């Protein structure tokens, strides 16, 4: 897993601009793009994934599909990101094989340690700050990053309410990367994203 910005392309946030945004982020050399689709039918999800795979292929930007093993397989994605309530890790690994990445969302020290024991390639850790994409989850703060960093060796990708103002604190706490979602769609001229990329 590469160190740096992990851009989450959420179809609910980008609407019709999603493919264009993927192209922009690849040109900016964002290390990872994750496609998150909760508001479209499977056919459209698959088509979006195939288009983004074309954009990322050979670019140096990894393409990760959120939640859906079938879409990851069909699109030829570089990996899959699973939440705590998604398909069990061992089943996904058995189908994807060892050559593709699997990341796990974690919200506590216990879940982070368990993810490493399972064999996850990286963990998403959060929400660190309050976020509109996960309003039901209590912010954990950077203290959680510090504690998890002491206990796991795999890459930590911090997520939740991260922006240009607080990203320095997040990285100083031991995160290897930061995942951004809602702020990506708001930064039409991309200065904030570019500033964050330049921190790595």
CATH no. of 4-197 = 3.20.20.70
Predicted pLDDT of residue 93: 98
- 25-35 mean pLDDT: 93
Predicted pLDDT of residue 150: 98
Give the HSE-up count for residue 89: Cα atoms under 13 Å, Cβ half-sphere.
20
Predicted pLDDT of residue 131: 80
Predicted pLDDT of residue 138: 87
The confidence band for 95, taking pLDDT boundaries of 50, 70 and 90, is very high
Res. 193: pLDDT tops 80: no
Predicted pLDDT of residue 186: 62
Comparing 100 with 184, the larger pLDDT belongs to 100
Asked whether the beta carbons of 154 and 172 are under 8 A apart, the reply is no
Geometric angle at alpha carbon 118, from 115 and 120, rounded to 5°? 60
- 161-168 mean pLDDT: 89
Res. 188: pLDDT tops 60: no
The confidence band for 145, taking pLDDT boundaries of 50, 70 and 90, is very high
Res. 80: pLDDT tops 90: yes
Predicted pLDDT of residue 191: 59
User: Residue 80 to residues 30, 67, 120, 162: CA-CA distances in angstroms?
Assistant: 17, 7, 10, 22
pTM: 0.92
> Hey, how many other C-beta atoms are within 10 angstroms of the C-beta on 173?
19
Res. 107: pLDDT tops 80: yes
- 38-59 mean pLDDT: 95
Res. 133: pLDDT tops 80: no
Predicted pLDDT of residue 137: 76
- For residues 58 and 75, what is the distance between their CA atoms, to the nearest angstrom? 14
């Amino acid at each position: 897993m590469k160190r740096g910005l992990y851009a989450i392309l959420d179809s609910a946030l980008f609407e019709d601009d999603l493919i264009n945004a993927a192209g922009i982020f690849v040109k900016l050399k964002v290390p990872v793009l994750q496609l998150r689709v909760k508001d479209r039918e499977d056919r459209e999800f698959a088509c979006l994934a195939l288009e983004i795979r074309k954009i990322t292929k050979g670019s140096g930007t990894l393409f990760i599909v959120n939640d859906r093993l079938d879409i990851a397989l069909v699109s030829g994605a570089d990996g899959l990101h699973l939440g705590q309530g998604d398909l069990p890790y061992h089943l996904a690994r058995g189908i994807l094989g060892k050559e593709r990445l699997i990341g796990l969302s974690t919200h506590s020290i216990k879940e982070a340690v368990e993810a490493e024991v399972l064999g996850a390639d990286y963990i998403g850790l959060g929400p660190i700050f309050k976020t509109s994409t996960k309003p039901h989850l209590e912010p954990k703060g950077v203290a959680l990053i510090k504690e998890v960093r002491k206990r796991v060796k795999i890459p930590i990708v911090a997520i939740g309410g991260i922006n240009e103002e607080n990203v320095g604190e997040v990285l100083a706490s031991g995160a290897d990367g930061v995942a951004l979602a809602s702020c990506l769609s708001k930064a039409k001229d991309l200065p904030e994203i570019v500033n964050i990329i330049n921190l790595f």
